[in-house]
Amino acid sequence: MTVASPASLYSDLDVEWTLDAPLASHTWYGVGGRADVLIRPRSLEALTTLVRRCHRDDIPLRVLGSGANLLVDDDGVDGVVIKLDEPFFQAVEWNVDGRVERLRAFGGASMEKLVQHCARRGVRGLEQMSGIPASVGGAIRMNAGGKFGAIGDAVDAVAILGMDGEIRIFPREAINFGYRTTSLPAGIVVWASFRVTEDDPIACRERVLEIFKYKKSTQPMGAASAGCMFRNPTMPDGTVESAGRLIDLAGVKGTRVGAALVSPRHGNFLAFEPVFTNESGETITAPSRTDDMRQLVEMVQDAVRAKFGVELETEVVFWRRGERP
């Protein structure tokens, strides 16, 4: 991207912008380079106009959610990065007649906060998302979920801002939700509405806590990672297999490239462990780099392919300068 005159793209809009913006602090991995420009729209009108201008000028446009499922290249990314963390895009709206049958959350709202808010209020429908870090928009886009279900289970409708600047609303019946995929077209999730039911607040909180405790007991949640790196693959016989199990059987748990490590506890968690003890007993400090994680991902994929003839696809998204989003 080359923005010869920032005023021509965004400075006349109701936005906050940062040129040459560091992105590492916006991701759970805490690594990566800079964005040419990071823009935070304060209104739907500003977002819509910005998207139209980027489309008109063929400028790469990326949306940064919670950063829990993202690795940014060490050299950063070109174009515009949008972050929907202004109050308008974090809003959550409830029924106004007293009964709670639908709620609407905007794309920048925190999934974790929304789950906790529902539990305190005595609302069921989203507890399966307990312990899953994401923005609502990011969770919708990949149909995030786990053992207890996915966000698509509760969706009522989704509003998408297309790259042409037009907003289209898709009812649940028009959306196919699959394993970590949806049939939604390219664009930005402006908001999603969910079908929920009222329940006892104590029971709701207990259910959320139960699911969170399960995740904590089975996954290294404190590690500097983005959760599961790979999608569970479909085997040649048509069954879906655990990626973590295949990685374990391929013998690569504990494999390291620099500070990047395949968790010895859960093979599908690839994390950064910058301070470690080598085979000689020396304490080593290595820089956390996206390139090392990328190499580690390829090593794991090669090992699983060689042993099982299966291609592992990443859940984590890689951003690289020069690649079209």
Q: Is 228 a catalytic residue?
A: yes
Nearest residue to 136 via CA among 165, 156, 163: 156
Burial class (CB in 10 A: 0-12, 13-18, 19+), 286: middle
Kindly name the residue from 86, 228, 231, 294 that is annotated as catalytic: 228
**Spatial separation of the C-alpha atoms in residues 45 and 55, rounded to whole Å:** 15
- DSSP per residue over 220-280, as a string? -TTSBS-SB-BPPPBPTTS-B--HHHHHHHTT-TT-EETTEEE-SS-TTBEEE--EEE-TT
What is the number of other CB atoms lying within 10 angstroms of the CB of residue 280? 6
Query: Catalytic pick from 42, 53, 102, 180?
Result: 180
- Return the number of other C-beta atoms located less than 10 Å from residue 193's C-beta: 19
Return d(Cα 69, Cα 26) in angstroms, integer.
11
Which one from 54, 289, 315, 321 is the annotated catalytic residue? 315
For residue 155, what are the contacts with CB-CB under 8 A and spacing of at least 6?
140, 172, 175, 177, 192, 193, 194, 195
Between strands 155-161 and 167-171, the pairing is: antiparallel
Would you please indicate which residues are annotated as catalytic (active-site) residues?
180, 228, 315
